[in-house]
Chains A and B, each alone.
Chain A
Amino acid sequence: MTNRGIHGEALVLDEPLSLWGGLDPATGRIVDARHPQRGASVSGRVLAMSAVRGSSSSSSVLAEAVRAGTAPLAVLLGERDLILSVGSAVAEELYGVRVPIVVWPRARLAALRTGDRVIVADS
């Protein structure tokens, strides 16, 4: 992240996603067959969702996506999440790439639309 922050296009998920079983880190695409946005790519976008669902193995999947260069630029969530925060911290330690996990008020998240330009800046 530069001093001017991360600039990216939002991908707003209609339903929570478990990265484990839901995101293919080799391609950066959503692969959960039951997810309404199956096939969408998170790579290079700002991924926004109200909550994270499911397994702690999602930490590993986020780190692996960072390693593979398919990760989102940042993740906006409606609540704190240990699993993604730890995955992001490990990826930064191993690969020197920071994917900020940012908590947003749910009302702001609800107003966000896929394709909106988002700036994630250091506070």
Chain B
Amino acid sequence: MPVALDDRDRALLAGDRGAGAAFAMRLVLLAAEALGARQLIDISGAHVDSCLYHGQATLDFVERLRAGDARVTVPTTLNVGAVDLLHPELWHGSPEVAEAGRRLMEAYRALGCRPTYTCAPYQLPFARPALGDQVAWAESNAIVFCNSVLGARTERYGDFTDIACAITGRVPDAGLHRTEARRATLVLRLADDVPPALRDADVLYPVLGMVLGRRAGSSVAALVGLPAGLDEDRLKAIGAAAASSGAVAMFHAVGSTPEAPTLAAALGGRDTGAAVEETITLAELRGARDALTTGDDLPLAAVSLGTPHASLGELRAIARAVDGRRTRVELLVSTGRDVLAAADSEGIAARLRAAGVELLVDTCSYLSPVLREVPGAVMTDSAKWAAYAPGNVGREVVFASRDDCLASAVSGRVTIDLAPWGGA
């Protein structure tokens, strides 16, 4: 079944708005065919990940769009790039790669994208679509947050397709843009042996996300048995981990996310027999937690927090924990430049720096050579960081709660409190 085009689509393809927009429209059509869409629909915004350098081809692509006079036609934010444009001294890699990465980030800005350079655009008031809005977002953690927590609708866009949607203002009418694909087909219930103290601890949520991704794969699951009204930082941690261990683009947390006030709502009105129901036990959670650590017998080299980018609330909590203290190992916190500006105006950034905290923006410490080359393991509270850093930047990892990470950064030794886990 061919994709039905309207007059505007045909005009774009014919080059009425330039060769760059025509190229973008061809890519959107290719996506529509791959997703089995019958037509295209309008979007109200986009989040673009193509600004991360992956070689000369990524520069050649954006130069081709620019040469063809392409511009984005909807409000568009940018994901992280290769370098911190505001703190270039934190880069320890090749100057040539840094320069190419910087040029790519600037090139997307020149197409009309807003230079947010963050993997957490949902923390920016001007970049949050509303419930039911159709958008084109890239970056796996942002995609899952957009669908699950904001209730806005995106498919899994990524390199080249994200900017093509932003230029055309169009997406395939397929997948998670459509109501029927957003219903849960799997119910995951926290078993009774998961202690209440663990359900109330931040450290549960990235670990739960790892289990969710492994169980759900690419399907939509509903989580049951969690406290109601989970905050956005915990929901962020679930989604980022689930998109690392699986291909999760949406989940429901019953009682917390907008399309799941009840389990029945998450199932889209079908009865509970329509979905498979499974439980998640304490033993499985402990196993997933332990699998995140690769270097538990190594000395502590550094601590990395803020993957996905730390929210203002997380920066405040870190500042409270390190006030009046001084880190003995490198403690690096990644955040977005707009969130850092807000933290600066509250005086939080100064408090963090006084304790020895390095603040990284525009990129992430699992993508770029920014952590100092000190032998030993890097401690993190991020399951996503733990999943990617060994392969990407060749570092061994110790996973623990944020409080454990901060206490260890101050003492210089790995200390982990297992009390919330029932002592093991």
Contacts and interface: CB of A to CB of B under 8 A. Distances in A.
6 contacts: A56-B159, A59-B159, A67-B56, A82-B161, A83-B159, A85-B30
B152 to A, nearest CB: 19
Interface in A33-74: 33, 55-61, 63-64, 66-68
A86 B30 contact: yes
Nearest to B143: A56
Interface in B11-51: 23, 26-27, 30-31, 34-35, 49-50
A87 B55 CA distance: 13
- The list of the 6 closest CB pairs from A to B, nearest first, reads A56-B158, A64-B55, A60-B54, A63-B57, A64-B57, A82-B34
Nearest to A32: B391
A90 interface: yes
B392 A83 contact: no
Interface in B159-187: 159-161
Question: Secondary structure at chain B's binding surface: helix, strand, loop or mixed?
Answer: helix
Interface residues of B, number: 28
B61 A90 contact: yes
A89 B60 contact: no
A82 B54 contact: no
Given A56-B138, A82-B34, A21 B392 contact: yes
A116 interface: no
Contacts of A94: 57, 60-61, 64
A117 B29 CA distance: 33
A122 interface: no
Contacts of B52: 57
A55 B57 contact: no
Contacts of B49: 56-57
Given A63-B61, A90-B27, A94-B61, A83 B158 contact: yes
A25 interface: yes
Interface of B: 23, 26-27, 30-31, 34-35, 49-50, 52, 54-58, 60-61, 64, 138, 140, 156-161, 391-392
B64 A87 contact: no
Contacts of A60: 50, 54-55, 57-58, 159-160
A90 B392 CA distance: 25
A67 B23 CA distance: 18
B57 A82 contact: no
B54 A67 contact: no
B64 A93 contact: yes
Contact of B23 (A20, A56, A93): A93
For B35, B57, B64, the residue with the greatest tally of chain A CB atoms inside 10 Å of its CB is B57
Contacts of A25: 55
Given A56-B156, A56-B159, A86 B58 contact: no
Contacts of A82: 30-31, 34-35, 161
Nearest to B392: A21
Contacts of B35: 82
Given A33-B391, A89-B27, A64 B56 contact: yes
Contacts of B158: 55-57, 59, 83
Contacts of A113: none
